[in-house]
């Protein structure tokens, strides 16, 4: 019996090649896109979950409720961790993690750039990184111990056993010899903590200076709570701890007018679950991916799959009427409803299986192209994870059951007598078929509208004047291990007489995201004439305005001939001037009114407002200052316009002279700024691809449905032509029903798109305004595409000689 079912299934599919080809094509493309998007989503949702006790691991962060807004940040001071472990025995393990920068590693006179992370011995007690050589209990007990990854061990020592081997890490005064005490597996992509090597945090060059400094927030802190310790209860116990060690911070916020949040805290230390760290960009310093982006990817994948299933169902139902007599004959010969269902469902299962296998082949073939286009890091091995395989098989089962089972069930219900009498027909369009066509076109229109608006928003943000000239500027991260002021002075001296170098300056905040992937922000608050003021504080060096071509509205720039400029003078933005309520603030003094020490800063200049951070972030009033005691972490160099690549090569050579112990990580500022919109750019690109595929699949289904329906109306067309109907009249009659369905889909999709994109755009301080022409253009284009898709068949049918159409009558 089963063999007979399979033989009949393949015979029927081969007989209807066009129907089979449309379904297989639609399903294979849909499966391919779904595998990509489901895999991306799966990897993000399983971030950090490979740790065995991930439900007990948390990242510590601060909540600061200033009068304007709530700030959350995950950078901790060095003494926080020891104090927590001393005060709370329920903490099973705690580790500080200082990472984000490359370090020079020397082995046998050869140098390598590796990411060396500074941490504590509890690192392996908290996390489940697999140690393939060495012992977790004592791998980091010695200050001279270093644990390296397997790939780093291979790079440095080849196939030799690295345990006990020595290397020198760091440069300048921070150079130190370490002994390899352990080797771990390479860190998986789905880990928020990335490293090539691990050493004790006490090896930081400034550790002894800052180990008791509660205000130098420089690193992340992870804690592992004992079993059965409730997070909310533990956070409640942290309140006395916060009041004890951060009393001055709480007093400052209270003086500024800060109000307690719903938990009664003005300033609090709280915990973020490890599983949520990847999605919390605020406490992760701008890293990670917003969870809304992942849900959007899932929605797109489901929409694409739904459109393919709708095509499958519609074509199966349409084709079922051409097989009605076959079903009637089988029933009259004794076939049971169950047997008919299994046979017809078997045919659809074969189609689904072929589509699934072709989709898998497409995924494998297009994986490198997908990664290159969207900047992702998907691998074939990721697809072989048991959880992901189970997910894809579940999707396949649901599609086969829904898309194939429903038409088979409908056909098995046919009444044999009515079918053999010819009473089952498809002359009147069914409600289900029309509803499905409306649904798939509504989804397609929704995706197209969202794509156009997302692209417009990204283009708008990229085109907004930032208040400075980003072209021809090279940004060079210095790192924490070098003395930034010394490196800046050496570069100035070396390049002083070079005509290709127009200006050099330094700062503590990069613009955009450079090769070190580090971003920071300093906000201070004070009272000015009884008014609370919050401002972004930016450390700069001489020639900052000149290097970035920032316009000075009034006053003057910092000048080396004025000694006080390096300590007690500031330049503010126009927004800051408005904040303090001064039309001409030059000569005014900024500082806390209650400060009797005279530690106030004189305003010497006002500059035009400029964007120090992404346009997706709130822009604060800005205050710039020079300080001989604060560290400079970035050097900006403005170069001549001609031959920019040669300028980069020149700076790299100079860097090797002035800072040979550190890696050169220079990048052009305009490239760095594009990273501000990385998530939006990727999302718009994926939406563009999804929109194109959605339209393709919708038209493919409409094309096949129109063909089947017009074939059934061949005699009607012949009669109309005999009665005098013109070809345009016939085309309009045949296309009218389909165009109406597309119009209904537009009426559903456009309001949803308008509302949804308004909500999305509200997240951006700088945003476009929705234009009616976008939706009108999408509507007209959809109507035109649908009309052309159906028109191909209608024109062909209208041109047929009515004698041939009516020959059997």
pLDDT tens-place string over residues 542-572: 999 999 999 899 999 999 888 888 888 999 9
DSSP lists the bridge partners of residue 210 as: none
Least confident of 87-91, 320-324, 663-667: 320-324
Res 392: pLDDT: 84
The pairing of beta strand 176-184 with beta strand 145-149: parallel
Res 558: pLDDT: 92
Say if residues 723 and 419 touch (Cβ distance below 8 Å).
no
| Of 285 and 727, more confident | 727
Compute the C-alpha angle 139/145/147, nearest 5°.
60
The string of pLDDT tens digits covering residues 221-237 is 999 999 988 999 999 99
Res 443: pLDDT: 87
Task: Over range 167-188, report the average pLDDT.
Answer: 85
Res 72: pLDDT: 82
Res 415: pLDDT: 57
**The pLDDT of residue 86 is above 50:** yes
| Of 236 and 725, more confident | 236
Query: What mean pLDDT value characterizes the chain?
Result: 81
Res 192: pLDDT: 87
Say how many Å lie between the first and final Cα of the chain, rounded. 40
Residue 375 class from Cβ within 10 Å (0-12 exposed, 13-18 middle, 19+ buried)? exposed
| Of 24 and 412, more confident | 24
- Gap between the Cα atoms of 659 and 490, Å rounded: 9
Q: How many CB atoms lie within 10 A of CB 357?
A: 13
Res 427: pLDDT: 43
The pairing of beta strand 552-555 with beta strand 569-573: unpaired
| Band of residue 98 on the pLDDT scale cut at 50, 70, 90 | confident
Res 124: pLDDT: 92
| Band of residue 708 on the pLDDT scale cut at 50, 70, 90 | low
Least confident of 485-489, 511-515, 519-523: 519-523
- Gap between the Cα atoms of 708 and 22, Å rounded: 13
| Of 402 and 117, more confident | 117
Q: How many CB atoms lie within 10 A of CB 32?
A: 24
Res 120: pLDDT: 93
Task: Over range 706-721, report the average pLDDT.
Answer: 71
| Band of residue 598 on the pLDDT scale cut at 50, 70, 90 | very low
Nearest 10 degrees: Cα torsion 56, 57, 58, 59: 180
| Of 260 and 431, more confident | 260
Res 413: pLDDT: 62
Strands (E), 465-530: 473-477, 501-507, 523-528
Say what percent of the chain tops pLDDT 90. 18
- Gap between the Cα atoms of 702 and 493, Å rounded: 71
Say if residues 302 and 33 touch (Cβ distance below 8 Å).
no
**The pLDDT of residue 332 is above 70:** no
Residue 107 class from Cβ within 10 Å (0-12 exposed, 13-18 middle, 19+ buried)? middle
Least confident of 75-84, 264-273, 371-380: 371-380
| Residue 494: C-alpha distances to residues 291, 359, 487, 759 (Å) | 47, 58, 11, 52
Say what percent of the chain tops pLDDT 70. 83
Task: Over range 599-626, report the average pLDDT.
Answer: 84
Q: Among 286, 228, 271, which Cα is nearest to 57's?
A: 271
**The pLDDT of residue 786 is above 70:** yes
**The pLDDT of residue 809 is above 50:** no
CB proximity list for 642: less than 8 A, separation 6 or greater: none
- Gap between the Cα atoms of 745 and 103, Å rounded: 57
CB proximity list for 783: less than 8 A, separation 6 or greater: 739, 742, 743, 746
The model's pTM is: 0.71
| Band of residue 597 on the pLDDT scale cut at 50, 70, 90 | very low
Q: How many CB atoms lie within 10 A of CB 339?
A: 15
| Of 217 and 275, more confident | 275
If you ran DSSP here, which 8-state letter would residue 178 be given? E
Helix (H) or strand (E) holding 136: none
Res 421: pLDDT: 52
**The pLDDT of residue 733 is above 80:** no
**The pLDDT of residue 586 is above 50:** yes
Q: At what angle do helices 291-320 and 678-712 cross, to 10 degrees?
A: 10
């Amino acid at each position: 019996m089963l063999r007979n079912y399979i033989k009949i299934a393949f015979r029927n599919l081969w007989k209807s090649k066009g129907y089979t080809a449309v379904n297989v094509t639609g399903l294979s493309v849909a499966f391919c896109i779904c595998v990509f998007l489901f895999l991306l989503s799966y990897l993000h949702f399983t971030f950090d979950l490979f740790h065995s006790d991930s439900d007990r691991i948390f990242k510590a962060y601060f909540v600061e409720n200033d009068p304007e807004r709530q700030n959350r940040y995950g950078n901790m001071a060095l003494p926080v961790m020891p104090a927590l472990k001393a005060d709370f025995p329920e903490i099973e393990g705690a580790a500080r993690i200082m990472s984000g920068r490359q370090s020079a590693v020397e082995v046998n006179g050869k140098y390598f750039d590796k990411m060396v992370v500074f941490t504590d011995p509890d690192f392996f007690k908290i996390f489940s990184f697999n140690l393939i050589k060495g012992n977790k209990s004592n791998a980091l007990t010695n200050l001279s111990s270093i644990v390296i990854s397997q790939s780093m061990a291979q790079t440095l020592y080849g196939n030799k056993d690295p345990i006990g081997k020595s290397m020198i890490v760091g440069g300048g005064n921070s150079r130190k010899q370490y002994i390899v005490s352990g080797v771990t597996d390479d860190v998986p992509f789905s880990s928020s903590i990335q490293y090539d090597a691990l050493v004790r945090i006490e090896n930081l060059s400034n550790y002894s200076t800052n180990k008791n400094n509660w205000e130098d927030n420089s690193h992340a802190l992870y804690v592992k709570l004992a079993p059965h310790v409730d997070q909310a209860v533990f956070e409640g116990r942290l309140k006395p701890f916060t009041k004890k060690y951060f009393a001055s911070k709480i007093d400052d916020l209270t003086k500024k007018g800060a109000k307690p949040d719903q938990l009664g805290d003005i300033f609090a230390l709280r915990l973020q679950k490890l599983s949520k760290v990847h999605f919390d960009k605020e406490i992760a310093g701008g890293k990670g991916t917003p969870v809304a982006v992942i849900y959007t990817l899932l929605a797109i994948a489901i929409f694409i799959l739904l459109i393919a299933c709708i095509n499958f169902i519609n074509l199966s139902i349409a084709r079922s009427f051409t097989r009605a007599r076959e079903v009637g004959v089988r029933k009259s010969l004794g076939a049971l409803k169950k047997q008919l269902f299994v046979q017809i469902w078997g045919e659809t299962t074969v189609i689904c299986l072929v589509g699934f296998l072709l989709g898998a082949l497409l995924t494998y073939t297009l994986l490198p192209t997908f990664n290159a286009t969207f900047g992702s890091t998907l691998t074939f091995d990721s697809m072989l994870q048991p959880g992901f395989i189970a997910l894809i098989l579940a999707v396949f089962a649901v599609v086969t059951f829904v898309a194939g089972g429903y038409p088979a069930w409908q056909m098995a219900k046919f009444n044999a007598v009515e079918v053999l009498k010819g009473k089952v027909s498809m002359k009147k369009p069914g409600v289900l078929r029309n509803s499905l066509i409306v649904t798939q076109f509504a989804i397609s229109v929704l995706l197209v509208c969202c794509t156009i608006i997302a692209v417009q928003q990204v283009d708008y943000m990229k085109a907004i004047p930032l208040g400075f000239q980003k072209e021809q500027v090279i940004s060079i991260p210095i790192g924490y291990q070098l003395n930034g002021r010394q490196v800046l002075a050496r570069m100035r001296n070396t390049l002083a007489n070079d005509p290709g170098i127009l200006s050099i300056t330094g700062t503590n905040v990069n613009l955009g995201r450079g090769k070190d992937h580090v971003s920071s922000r300093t906000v201070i608050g004070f009272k000015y004439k009884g008014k609370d003021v919050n401002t972004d504080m930016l450390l700069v060096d001489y020639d900052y305005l000149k290097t970035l071509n920032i316009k000075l509205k009034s006053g003057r720039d910092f000048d080396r001939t004025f000694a006080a400029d390096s300590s007690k003078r500031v330049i503010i933005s126009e927004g800051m001037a408005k904040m303090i309520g001064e039309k001409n603030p030059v000569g005014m003094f900024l500082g806390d009114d209650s400060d009797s020490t005279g530690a106030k800063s004189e305003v010497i200049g006002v500059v035009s407002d400029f964007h120090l951070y992404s346009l997706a972030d709130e822009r604060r009033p800005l205050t710039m200052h020079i300080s001989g005691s604060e560290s400079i972490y970035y050097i900006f160099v403005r170069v001549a316009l001609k031959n920019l690549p040669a300028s980069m090569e020149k700076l790299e050579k100079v860097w090797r002279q002035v800072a040979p112990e550190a890696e050169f990580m220079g990048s052009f500022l305009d490239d760095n700024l594009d990273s501000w919109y990385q998530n939006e750019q990727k999302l718009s690109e994926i939406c563009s691809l999804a929109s194109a595929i959605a339209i393709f699949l919708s038209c493919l289904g409409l094309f096949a449905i129109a063909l089947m329906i017009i074939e059934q109306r061949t005699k009607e067309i012949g009669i109309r032509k005999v009665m005098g109907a013109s070809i345009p009249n016939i085309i309009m009659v045949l296309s009218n029903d389909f165009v109406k369905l597309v119009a209904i889909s537009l009426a559903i999709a456009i309001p949803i798109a308008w509302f949804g994109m308004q909500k999305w755009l509200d997240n951006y301080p700088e945003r476009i305004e929705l234009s009616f022409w976008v939706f009108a253009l999408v509507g007209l284009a959809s109507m035109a595409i649908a009309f052309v898709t159906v028109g191909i068949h209608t024109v062909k049918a209208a041109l047929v000689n009515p004698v041939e159409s009516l020959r059997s009558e």
